[in-house]
Amino acid sequence: MKLTTKSFGVAVLLAGSAFGAFGAQAQEPAQNDGLNASLWYQTSVEYKTTALSVYAGAQRLLDAAIGDHDWTAALEQDGNYSAKPPAIILDVDETVLDNSAYQSWVVTANTSYSSKTWAAFVEDAISTPTPGALELTKAAADKGVEVFYVTNRKAAEEAATIKNLQEYGFPYADADHVMVRGEKEEWGSAKATRRAAVAADFRVIMMFGDNFGDFTDDIDGSIDERLEVMDKYATYWGERWFMLPNPTYGSWESAAFGNDWKKSPEARRQDKLDALNSWSGPKE
């Protein structure tokens, strides 16, 4: 199967064979269906312990971040911010809430991501907390840190998102702290304007996300250019910026094909294959 729209899938090859009615015949494995990535994300202890480790590491740094009034995580923080109250910023999808039920549906229904089915999923408000996220946000709130959720869910999806967060007791899960895309005219998919809005009134001590764009808007370069940006902020990772793993979708995928979603699915797939650093195979 080849997904034909921007999807939650990643390019994975599923080993297998089938025997047809006319004798044994090898069958091409499904392409780009995201099965392994979704299975790993939803069922593996490896994923869960990684997420727990990220949040536990951040929680251990809370007191230091609160106490150091020169400490900030937001590139948008400027001026004299030392007297501002502390806050943290978290992305929602695959950072605070686990949407693997939707990703798994995409795989099992043999379909692809669409804004219509995604909106229906969000409206059901059945996403569960990412391991460690609830504990970290509660610990921060207990220490007087305000919590902001900066998400690229649409404005029409804000109420369902708040409902989902409130169901599990996430602190500050209200309209003032859940900042969705399009809620204000200047709040597009790039998140800098929303981070700046928080930084105007708070000292942002930590940020959490599963995508490069949750930390900086400088995400649309090539693979090598993105690595350069990553290195530029090397001292932020694991201290001010905390990245959650997400092998199912993200800006890493489009970087492989020049961020050009107008390319055909076949062309995008070939670009991804070309981006791989592969072993040459066994010597004959």
Q: What is the pLDDT along the chain (284 residues), one digit of tens a residue?
A: 344 444 444 333 333 333 344 344 445 555 557 899 999 999 999 999 999 999 999 999 999 999 999 999 999 999 999 999 999 999 999 999 999 999 999 999 988 899 999 999 999 999 999 999 999 999 999 999 999 999 999 999 999 999 999 999 999 999 999 999 999 999 999 999 999 999 999 999 999 999 999 999 998 899 999 999 999 999 999 999 999 999 999 999 999 999 999 999 889 999 999 999 999 999 98
* Distance from C-alpha of 207 to C-alpha of 88, rounded to nearest angstrom: 6
Q: How many CA atoms lie within 13 A of 49 on its CB side?
A: 3
* Distance from C-alpha of 177 to C-alpha of 190, rounded to nearest angstrom: 18
- 3-class secondary structure, 267: helix
Q: How much is the pLDDT for 241?
A: 99
Q: How much is the pLDDT for 284?
A: 81
Give strand pairing partners of 203. 86
Say if residues 265 and 4 touch (Cβ distance below 8 Å).
yes
Element (H, E) at 147: strand 146-154
- 3-class secondary structure, 19: strand
Q: How much is the pLDDT for 30?
A: 55
Q: How much is the pLDDT for 180?
A: 98
Q: How many CA atoms lie within 13 A of 110 on its CB side?
A: 2
Report strand pairing: 128-129 vs 203-209: unpaired
User: How far is residue 32 CA from its own chain's centroid?
Assistant: 19
Domain chopping of the chain, boundaries: 51-256+267-272
Task: Please tell me the pTM assigned to this model.
Answer: 0.87
CATH code for the part of the protein at 51-256+267-272: 3.40.50.1000
Q: How much is the pLDDT for 32?
A: 57
- 3-class secondary structure, 75: coil
- 3-class secondary structure, 254: helix
Cα three-residue angle 169-241-92, rounded to 5 degrees: 35
DSSP letter at 31 equals B
Q: How much is the pLDDT for 242?
A: 99
* Distance from C-alpha of 101 to C-alpha of 234, rounded to nearest angstrom: 33
For residue 24, what are its two tokens? 């044994």
* Distance from C-alpha of 45 to C-alpha of 149, rounded to nearest angstrom: 26
